[in-house]
Amino acid sequence: MTTAAAIELKGISKAFGPVQANKDISIRVMPGTIHGIIGENGAGKSTLMSILFGFYKADAGEIFINGTKANITDSQTAIRAGIGMVFQHFKLVQNFSVLENVILGAEDGALLRPSLAKARGELKRLAEEYELHVDPDALIEDLSVGHQQRVEILKALYRQADILILDEPTGVLTPAEADQLFRILERLREEGKTIILITHKLREIMHITDTVSVMRRGQMTATVKTSETSPEQLAELMVGRKVLLRVDKKPATPGAPVLEVENLRVIDEHGVERLKGVSLNVRAGEILGIAGVAGNGQSALLEVLGGMIPATGTVRMNGQELDLTGTASDGQSRRARGIAHVPEDRQHDGLIMDFSAWENTVFGYHNDPAIQSNALLMDNAAIRADTAAKMERFDVRPPDPFLPAKSFSGGNQQKIVLAREIERNPDLLLIGQPTRGVDIGAIEFIHQRVVELRDAGKAILLVSVELDEIMSLSDRIAVMFDGRIMGERLPEQTNETELGLLMAGVNEEAA
Q: What is the pLDDT of residues 201-228, one digit of tens each?
A: 888 899 999 999 999 889 999 999 999 9
Domain spanning 7-239, CATH architecture: 3-Layer(aba) Sandwich (3.40)
Q: Is the peptide bond before 401 cis (omega within 30 degrees of 0)?
A: no
What confidence tens digit (pLDDT) does each residue in 75-101 have? 889 999 999 998 877 788 989 999 888
More confident residue, 240 or 385: 385
Domain spanning 257-352+425-503, CATH architecture: 3-Layer(aba) Sandwich (3.40)
In sequence order, which ranges of 159-254 are alpha helices (DSSP H)? Answer: 175-190, 202-208, 231-239
**Whole-number pLDDT of residue 244:** 67
Q: Where in the chain is the domain with CATH 3.40.50.300?
A: 7-239, 257-352+425-503
**Whole-number pLDDT of residue 459:** 98
Q: Taking residues 25-46, what's their average pLDDT?
A: 90
Q: Measured between alpha carbons, how far is 455 from 284 in angstroms, rounded to an integer?
A: 9
Pairing between strand 34-39 and 211-216? Answer: parallel
Name the strands in the sheet holding 194-198, side by side, starting at the edge strand that comes first in the sequence: 83-86, 163-167, 194-198, 34-39, 211-216, 219-225
- Read off the pTM: 0.71
Q: What single-letter amino acid sits at 50?
A: S
User: 224-253: string of b/e by CB count within 10 Å (b at 16+)?
Assistant: eebeebeeeebbebbbeeebeeebebeebe
What confidence tens digit (pLDDT) does each residue in 294-337 have? 788 999 999 999 999 999 999 999 999 999 988 766 788 899 99
Q: Taking residues 475-483, what's their average pLDDT?
A: 96
Collapsing DSSP states into helix, strand and coil, what is residue 155?
Answer: helix
Q: Taking residues 102-120, what's their average pLDDT?
A: 75
CB 14 within 8 A of CB 58: yes
In this structure, the number of other CB atoms found within 10 A of the CB of residue 114 comes to 11
Residue 288 has pLDDT above 90, yes or no: yes
Closest by Cα among 154, 193, 185, 156 to 169: 185
Closest by Cα among 41, 11, 24 to 216: 41
Share the mean pLDDT of the chain. Answer: 89
Closest by Cα among 267, 261, 279 to 311: 267
In this structure, the number of other CB atoms found within 10 A of the CB of residue 124 comes to 12
CB 2 within 8 A of CB 26: no
CB 98 within 8 A of CB 153: no
User: Looking at 12-16, 67-71, 171-175, 286-290, which range is the least confident one?
Assistant: 171-175
Residue 511 has pLDDT above 50, yes or no: no
Q: Measured between alpha carbons, how far is 483 from 295 in angstroms, rounded to an integer?
A: 9
Q: How far is CA 95 from CA 99, 140, 264, in A?
A: 12, 6, 34
